[in-house]
Structures are given as C-alpha cells and as structure tokens.
Amino acid sequence: MKRTVTQLADGRELIYFDHDENADRGAADTRELPPRPAASELRYDPVMDEWIAIAGHRQGRTFLPPTDECPLCPSRPGHATEIPAADYDVAVFENRFPSFSFNLGHYEDVGGLSEVRPGVGRCEVVCFTSRHDSSFSRLSPEQVDLVLVALADRTDHLSRLEGVEQVFPFENRGAEIGITLAHPHGQIYAYPYVTPRTRQMLASAARYRERTGGDLFADVLATERKAETRVVASNEHWTAFVPAAARWPFEVHVYLNRRAADLRELDAEERAAFGPLYTDVLRRLDGLFGVTMPYVAAWHQAPVRTGRDLAYLHLQLFSIRRAAQKLKYLAGSESAMGAFVNDVLPEEAARMLREQP
C-alpha cells in the first residue's frame, strides 16, 4: 500500500491510498478557490447538556451536481475536481465546507447560559473509489480492505490533533437520507467533544460493569450469537445481527468477535474478513424491495481520551425505508422526545435479510 500526502489549491490536505506502490500522485490542483471558511461556532445547550455546531457557511455547499460535474470524480481536461489525479484507488481530503476546523474566526458571547466556543476539529471526505457509478456494496474485498486501512490511518492522525475528543467515520447513502453528492463516499468527523450517543453508550457499559462485572457489548454479542434468531451473517471474525430493540425498520449491527477499542486495532485477517460479510449484508439490504436502499453506516469506536476500556468497536447500519414505497420519518415521538417506535419486528427484519439470495 502506498500513502501519498499532498495539498489542494486552498491549502487543504489530500491523502491518496493506493494498491500500487508506483502510483504517481504528482498532479497539482490548478483551480482558483476562495479562502477557507472560519470554523463553526459551538453553542452549549444547558438543558440537554449537549454542544450544537452553528455552521452558516455550509449553506453554500455543493448540492447534487450533474454527474459530469461531480467534484469527487478524478480530474479530467476541462474539469478540475477535488481529486487532481486522473484516477485513484481511495482518496481522503479535508472537507471544503467543514462542520469543524482549525481555521479560527471571531466568536462572541451570546449571553444567557449558552457558552460559546470555536468549533475546532476536522472534517474529511473519504472517496471509496474513483468509479462514480459504483457503491460500497460493489467494492472488491481488496478495495474494502484499503478503505479500512485509510479509516484506521485517519483515526490515528485525527486522534493526535489537539482539541479532538472523538473520531467518527460514517457513510450516508441515498437521496432519501439527504446526501448532497452521489459519488460513493463517506466522511470522518473529528469532534471537539464526546457525542451524546457515545456518552450514553459508555455510561450504560459502566453501569453494566459495576452491576455484573461483565462487558456489556461482549455480552450482547454472545447472547445474539447463541440465540441466532436475529443473526443475519457471520464468519470467524465478525457477526452481523439485527438488535433486539432496533430503532429503525431495517437495522444491522456488525460486531467484531473480540473486543477492540477502534479501527487501529484491527489486524490484517480481521480487515480481510470484514469486506465479504459487510458487502453481502449491503446487497441483501438492496434486494429487499428491488430498489437501492438508502442507509447510514456509522462506525462506533472509543473516544480519544475517555471510556476506552468500555468501548467496543462496531458498525451500525440502518435504513429509513420500511416498505417498497414507504419511508420512516422521524415524526413527533422520535424528533421531539427521542422515543422511537419501530414499524418492523426485528426478528422479521432479520429473517427477510437472511432469505435474500
């Protein structure tokens, strides 16, 4: 594997990850780009004990451009993109419209109980392939392995940045989810705080350990593997199952069969085993209703400094589609109260996924 670091025209970092050690990544970004925006503003919500990023500059980000104007495709004569090379394997670069960055601006106190501070951190775009018409489900095992190498590399680098507390790789796929670019890609958020969901999961794991002496995530996995009812697929290193209390119509959690804190701890065999299982689950999801399923794929890994002994690396995959022509919207109960109501029995969802050819 070859790793090449370069810069885009406005100073943002671009990293190529290539199978070929001889790949030439000397192409320069010839565009004239505007100055990079100032970092967002973080405002503290004392009622919910959460930080909210106010990032007005993101209103102007690229929105569903035509295929021939995609900014994530390789550059070609007459159309320079975020990727100067004429082709690439995996490319990672700093987001042009980031929710968090180290390019600080001016921040004023808004009064009241809402503390204000700069939204320091970093947001990166991960291009899984140069093929615009592809998808993660169609990647070869070798390509998935390279993506995991890139995610582990970025987790390591971003975790070392001053002010970063959590690194979160994820993929949004499908117009129904609200994507702004159709090219197969994911993102990585390096947050300046530990996110609410992670705080809640770690608190649950801490209480479970205090009460039972056990590992909450390991025991959940062991129970699901023993019951088999909600298991969708498994191999020597990974298990994919529908959680018993799934929030979404079709939700699958992919657990490593041993505890690891984050992606950096995966060994070569575990990386190699992930691709065939995960892409199989994605294809089963697409096969449910004969349409391309929108989904969010979220890597849950340990924060940088807290709860690392409690965290358990796993991937959460979920779709908002509940039937061929029906989507699940987050209405009153979910949006206002955070109280989910699922329309699909988890055991039935698991059976439907298992029965896909």
Q: Report d(CA 104, CA 163) in Å as an integer.
A: 13
287: its two tokens: 């096969």
The candidate with the shortest Cα–Cα distance to 268, out of 142, 170, 135, is 142
Considering only CA atoms, give the Rg of the chain: 21
The helix-helix angle for 346-354 and 268-287 (nearest 10°) equals 100
Single-letter amino acid, residue 75: S
- 185 in active site: yes
Q: Report d(CA 353, CA 210) in Å as an integer.
A: 36
Burial class (CB in 10 A: 0-12, 13-18, 19+), 65: middle
Cα–Cα–Cα angle for 322, 327, 332, rounded to 5 degrees: 110
Cα–Cα–Cα angle for 1, 94, 148, rounded to 5 degrees: 35
Q: Report d(CA 182, CA 256) in Å as an integer.
A: 29
Cα–Cα–Cα angle for 346, 258, 222, rounded to 5 degrees: 40
Q: Report d(CA 258, CA 153) in Å as an integer.
A: 21
174: its two tokens: 């499908």
- DSSP symbols for 171-202: EEESGGGT-S--SSEEEEEEESS--HHHHHHH
First to last CA, the chain: 34
Single-letter amino acid, residue 261: A
**Of residues 157, 183, 185, 237, which has the active-site annotation?**
185
123: its two tokens: 């947001």
- Residues listed for the chain: 357
The candidate with the shortest Cα–Cα distance to 185, out of 125, 274, 131, is 125
Q: Which residues are catalytic?
A: 185
